[in-house]
Amino acid sequence: MGNPNSIIIPAPREHLTGYGSHIPQQLPLFNPADEVALYQPQHGGYFSLLVKVETGKIHQHSYPVSELPRVLALVDAMRDTWVSQGQFWTPLRRVVNLKSISLAYLDIDCYKNCAWAVGRTPEELAEFFMRFCDDEGIPRPSIIIFSGRGIQPKWLFSSALPRAALPRWNAFEKYLVKKFEQYGADPLAKDAARVLRLIQTVNSKSGLFCHVVGLTEGEDGLPMLYDFDYLAEFVLPYSRSELNELRHREATQGAKVLRKDNGFSLQTLNWARLEDLRMLLRLRGVIDEGMRMEFLFYTMNFLALSSQVTLSTFYREAAFLAAEIDPMWTFRSAELRTVYAKFQAAMRGEKVSFNGMEVTPLYTPTTETLLDLFQVTDEEMRHMKTLISEDVRRERDRKSHEAARRAAGVIPRAEYEGLAFARKERARDLQAQGLSIRKIATEMGVSKSQVQRYLSGVSHVCPVI
């Protein structure tokens, strides 16, 4: 994980220009720890810090979020420094390790042939971007950071999104990038493992300091916090409730419901496939040597299908996942060449014909194929979301329906019959004690006619007094 004192060493650089050696005045409230704390909830997880050292190399270290104030207090403002935007379960900054994410963001490279940005101050760039949001019908970002050469708008969430929501977050992020590409949005800066510059640190390429230049205030005067579902409904074709309805219709109708063309539901399915395979690994603790390569192959295939990896990070993610399968295993990258080539074709927008439809070049195996390939047991399936047999699915549906009926006040027949028998026995016991029907009804909280039905068939019927 690393010692921050060993990587962040004060070393002023005399050649810096622009703001020189003085850090610009922030908007009220912001220092590095304050800004990062806006999207790094203080409950478990790790964040990563990247620092450019004297040799020009970039060193990365990860720390528990609980150490965030201490670590950031040691940062040398005169060094290029970046911080992760997401939070991770382990000290490894990989999208498959994501714990949660609490914001959406853009990296606007407005220094690259953006006529609208020429000659404007950082504060003016922020104000112009706010107007662009108004023009595009997008809520204004909570804060805007000047990175030293461009700006980084950030939309902060009122609560952190768990990793299960990553496909929906990814769809929202892709929409933002596409919407603002005409204003200089970097198309590569849209993954949840992204790092962005830390405020009050220098950008050595420009000699300018990264700092907050734009703010949208909430009612409390602090940066606006948005409900993610509220933001998503501005741009995504389905709300979360509509997605749940679509999934229910698919389950009950036994056929796929037509989706709109952003591929979001396909990403969600394949992210769930990936999560199921990783659950299988956790349940078993080890993957048999004979199926390791196929396990890694399909894991990377589903990671690509869920749009949570890029061509440039594909093999790095594969190396991390291989280490999860077995830390001593060294796989040959050539064995992933086929899925990588199909991923390249998919990124170029190519399609292949299958059963009269145009589909992705990547592999889309059936559930049955995966269950057979990895010999998944019924007990293992009970921990899965999508890798389940029809028998397990029916069992899960039955339990779900029973739970729904209970919630609606409907008692299962067997339980109802048992309860009715117990009530009859109780009525007969009270009758044997000499109580009248009226008193039995009062004791049991039922009507007199109900007591008479309980006692029907009994040779001696007590009086109704």
Q: How far is CA 225 from the centre of its chain?
A: 18
- Our count of domains for the chain comes to 3
- pLDDT, residue 457, reads 54
Whether residues 183 and 329 fall in one domain? no
Could you read off the pLDDT of 377-393 as tens digits, one per residue? 999 999 988 898 888 88
- Residue that finishes a domain, picked among 370, 385, 404: 404
Whether residues 340 and 444 fall in one domain? no
Tokens of 123: 């504060």
Tokens of 22: 């003085």
Whether residues 138 and 225 fall in one domain? yes
67 φ, ψ (degrees, to nearest 5): -95, 5
pLDDT band at residue 262 under the 50/70/90 scheme? very low
Q: Compute CA distances 197 → 72, 146, 200, 344, whole Å.
A: 13, 9, 9, 29
Whether residues 302 and 173 fall in one domain? no
Q: Compute CA distances 147 → 125, 203, 211, 252, whole Å.
A: 12, 7, 7, 50
Q: Would you say residue 243 lies in a domain? A: no
DSSP label at 21?
T
**How far is it, in rounded angstroms, from Cα 38 to Cα 217?**
13
- pLDDT, residue 22, reads 54
- pLDDT, residue 416, reads 55
- pLDDT, residue 408, reads 61
- pLDDT, residue 263, reads 44
What CATH number does residue 83 fall under?
3.30.70.1790
Whether residues 424 and 388 fall in one domain? no
- Residue that finishes a domain, picked among 201, 218, 235: 235
331 φ, ψ (degrees, to nearest 5): -85, 160
Q: Would you say residue 450 lies in a domain? A: yes
Could you read off the pLDDT of 142-175 as tens digits, one per residue? 999 999 999 999 999 999 999 888 988 988 998 9
Q: Would you say residue 26 lies in a domain? A: yes
Whether residues 188 and 288 fall in one domain? no
Residue with tokens 């397990």: 392
Tokens of 148: 């030293």
Q: How far is CA 259 from the centre of its chain?
A: 21
Using the predicted structure, report yes or no on whether residue 24 has a pLDDT greater than 80.
no
Contacts of 426 (CB under 8 A, 6+ apart): 444
Could you read off the pLDDT of 62-81 as tens digits, one per residue? 999 999 999 999 999 999 99
Using the predicted structure, report yes or no on whether residue 461 has a pLDDT greater than 60.
no
* pLDDT cut 90: percent of the chain above it: 43
Q: Would you say residue 241 lies in a domain? A: no
pLDDT band at residue 414 under the 50/70/90 scheme? low
Q: Residue 144: beta bridge partners?
A: 153, 214
Contacts of 17 (CB under 8 A, 6+ apart): 206, 207
Whether residues 167 and 76 fall in one domain? yes
* Contact call for residues 97 and 161 (beta carbons, < 8 A): no
User: Beta-strand (E) ranges in 309-387?
Assistant: 352-354, 357-359
pTM, to two decimals? 0.66
- Helices and strands in the chain, H and E counts: 17, 14
Residue with tokens 């199921």: 276
Whether residues 380 and 420 fall in one domain? no
Q: Which has the minimum average pLDDT: 14-18, 273-277, 428-432? A: 14-18
Q: Would you say residue 461 lies in a domain? A: no
User: Beta-strand (E) ranges in 130-204?
Assistant: 143-146, 151-162, 195-197, 202-203
* Residue predicted with more confidence, 344 or 424: 344
Using the predicted structure, report yes or no on whether residue 178 has a pLDDT greater than 60.
yes
- pLDDT, residue 405, reads 62
Q: Would you say residue 245 lies in a domain? A: no
356 φ, ψ (degrees, to nearest 5): 80, 5
Q: Would you say residue 247 lies in a domain? A: no
Whether residues 39 and 151 fall in one domain? yes
Whether residues 376 and 417 fall in one domain? no
Whether residues 51 and 119 fall in one domain? yes
Could you read off the pLDDT of 332-357 as tens digits, one per residue? 888 899 999 999 999 998 998 877 78
- pLDDT, residue 160, reads 93
Residue 446's domain comprises 413-455
Angle at 242 between CA 261 and CA 170, to 5 degrees: 55
Using the predicted structure, report yes or no on whether residue 247 has a pLDDT greater than 80.
no
Whether residues 185 and 267 fall in one domain? no
Residue 375 backbone class (left: φ over 0; alpha: ψ -120 to 50; beta: rest): left
Tell me the helix, strand and coil percentages in the chain, rounded to 5: 45, 15, 40
Q: Would you say residue 242 lies in a domain? A: no
**How far is it, in rounded angstroms, from Cα 378 to Cα 384?**
10
**How far is it, in rounded angstroms, from Cα 94 to Cα 309?**
10
